[in-house]
């Protein structure tokens, strides 16, 4: 009886202590996406952060990549925004304009802010007030991967820098030659297998239009009509439609790995930087990394990736900023990201990444960041811009008329902007 009472008192004391300890902890919620490897890495970072800050409890909210914006919208409707959120960079303007995010400069360690590359600053900056709302360890780009054996067989020129990129004429000449080469089933994989539910089409194909001399929207007047449906854009999309009609492009039904699949059925790949690690593992020295071709007077390449922001409703923005700073400096996390061929968004991370250093196999990809990178339109109407453009490209790849498809897309974009009274102060003189 006495012992039961003693154990009861001990247990009661322990529970009370545990309750007090839990009550003393400050919880921050972190909403994120990512594949299983990154999800596990975030969890380990949180463990190390909590060990260094025992009064903080980091709680994760996972949202699938393809349904991230829908889950975030549900959180908005429920008025249950997290403290920290990962977001896809081109959607930043929409989130800031909608009042969801707060400037983060006062909340992030200054040495990290000073360490950001120009394109990292650009992807996290809101164009109206020029303030920084998000930061990332990484950025991104798309390059042209080539099968060295096939390119040597057709006598293709191998560019050594972004300034030496293939012209439109060279690119199509090589596609035609590759289409007749033994062993090549498709001259190029443009990763149509990603489908139209991700950002891939706007992210990867938009720069082809920009290189050809047009854009998805006029970035001063913020009108799409007259720009997206211009002859330059229609001609560029007609060019891509010809690649598909000629059977030069890996079809969507073939999946997303035909460049480095067994037998190497695709000779080239218009692929993201993340493709390199997997392709190099199987192709070894038979892979070459080339800059994106010039389809007009200038080169263009994409940038922007998933970056970290703090919501305006966060009750603990100082802890949220402390967690983001911890994440971006964490050595184990940086080592993991480097192993995934993470594209540097911090100068110190570039120095730690031999892939992207001068002379490294992906050096051309990092060269694009300072010479040809063009951000997706930083406008609150971006969700409509990307949706309309992706639908137009899909329609054209399936046989639709490029001019008609782009005109329809431009009309949808301009109608959305008109329906929102221009998303002021966008469209007004600053």
Domains, the chain, with CATH or none: 26-140+304-353 (3.40.190.10), 142-303+378-420 (3.40.190.10)
pLDDT-derived band at 196 (thresholds 50, 70, 90) equals confident
Sign of the Cα torsion 192, 194, 196, 202 reads negative
Task: Over range 56-67, report the average pLDDT.
Answer: 93
Of the candidates 72, 64, 65, 45, which has an alpha carbon nearest to the alpha carbon of residue 56? 45
Sign of the Cα torsion 27, 32, 35, 41 reads negative
pLDDT of residue 10: 36
Q: Is the pLDDT of residue 421 over 80?
A: yes
pLDDT of residue 22: 52
pLDDT of residue 20: 43
* pLDDT tens, position by position, 202-243: 999 999 999 999 999 999 999 999 999 999 999 999 999 999
Burial of residue 48, with CB atoms counted within 10 A of its CB: 0-12 exposed, 13-18 middle, 19 or more buried: middle
Q: What is the mean pLDDT of the chain?
A: 92
Distance, in Å, from the CA atom of 77 to the CA atom of 64, rounded to the nearest integer, reads 18
Q: Is the pLDDT of residue 347 over 60?
A: yes
User: Residue-wise over 159-186: b if at least 16 C-beta within 10 A, else e?
Assistant: beebeebbebeebbebbebbbeeeebeb
Q: Is the pLDDT of residue 6 over 50?
A: no
First to last CA, the chain: 79
User: Residue-wise over 73-102: b if at least 16 C-beta within 10 A, else e?
Assistant: eebbeeeebbbbbbbbbbbbbbbbbeebbb
* pLDDT tens, position by position, 294-337: 999 999 999 999 999 999 999 999 999 999 999 999 999 999 99
Report the percent of the chain where pLDDT is more than 90. 85
Q: Is the pLDDT of residue 55 over 50?
A: yes
What does pTM read for this prediction? 0.88
Work out the angle between the directed axes of helices 231-245 and 402-419 (0-180°, nearest 10): 130
């Amino acid at each position: 009886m006495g012992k039961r009472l003693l154990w009861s008192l001990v247990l009661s004391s322990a529970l009370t202590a545990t309750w007090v300890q839990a009550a003393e902890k400050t919880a921050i919620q972190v909403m994120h996406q990512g594949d299983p490897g990154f999800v596990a890495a975030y969890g380990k970072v949180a463990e190390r952060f909590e060990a260094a800050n025992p009064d903080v409890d980091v709680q994760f909210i996972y949202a699938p990549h393809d349904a991230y914006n829908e889950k975030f919208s549900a959180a908005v409707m429920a008025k249950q925004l997290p403290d920290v959120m990962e977001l896809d960079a081109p959607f930043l303007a929409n989130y800031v304009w909608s009042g969801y995010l707060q400037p983060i400069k006062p909340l992030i360690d200054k040495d990290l802010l000073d360490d950001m590359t120009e394109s990292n600053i650009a992807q996290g900056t809101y164009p109206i007030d020029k303030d920084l709302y998000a930061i990332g360890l990484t950025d991104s780009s798309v390059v042209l991967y080539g099968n060295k054996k096939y390119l040597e067989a057709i006598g293709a020129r191998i560019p050594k820098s972004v300034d030496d990129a293939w012209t439109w004429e060279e690119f199509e000449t090589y596609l035609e030659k590759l289409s007749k080469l033994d062993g090549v089933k498709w001259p190029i994989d443009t990763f149509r297998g990603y489908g139209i539910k991700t950002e891939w089409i706007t992210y990867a194909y938009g720069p082809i239009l920009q290189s050809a001399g047009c854009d998805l929207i006029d970035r001063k007047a913020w009108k799409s009509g007259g720009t997206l449906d211009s002859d330059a854009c229609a001609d560029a999309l007609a060019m891509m439609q010809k690649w598909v009609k000629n059977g030069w492009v890996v079809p969507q039904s073939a999946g997303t790995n035909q460049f480095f699949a067994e037998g190497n059925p695709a000779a080239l790949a218009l692929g993201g930087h993340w493709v390199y690690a997997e392709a190099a593992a199987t192709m070894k020295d038979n892979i070459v990394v080339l800059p994106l071709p010039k389809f007009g007077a200038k080169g263009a390449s994409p940038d922007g990736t998933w970056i970290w922001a703090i919501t305006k409703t966060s009750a603990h923005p100082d802890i949220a900023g402390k967690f983001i700073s911890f994440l971006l400096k964490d050595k184990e996390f940086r080592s993991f990201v480097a192993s995934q061929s993470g594209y540097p968004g911090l100068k110190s991370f570039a120095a730690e990444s031999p892939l992207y250093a001068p002379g490294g196999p992906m050096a051309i990809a990092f060269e694009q960041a300072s010479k040809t990178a063009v951000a997706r339109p930083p406008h609150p109407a971006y969700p409509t811009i990307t949706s309309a453009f992706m639908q137009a490209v899909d329609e054209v790849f399936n046989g639709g008329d490029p001019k008609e498809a782009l005109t329809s897309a431009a009309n949808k974009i301009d109608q959305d902007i008109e329906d929102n009274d221009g998303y002021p102060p966008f469209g007004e003189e600053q």
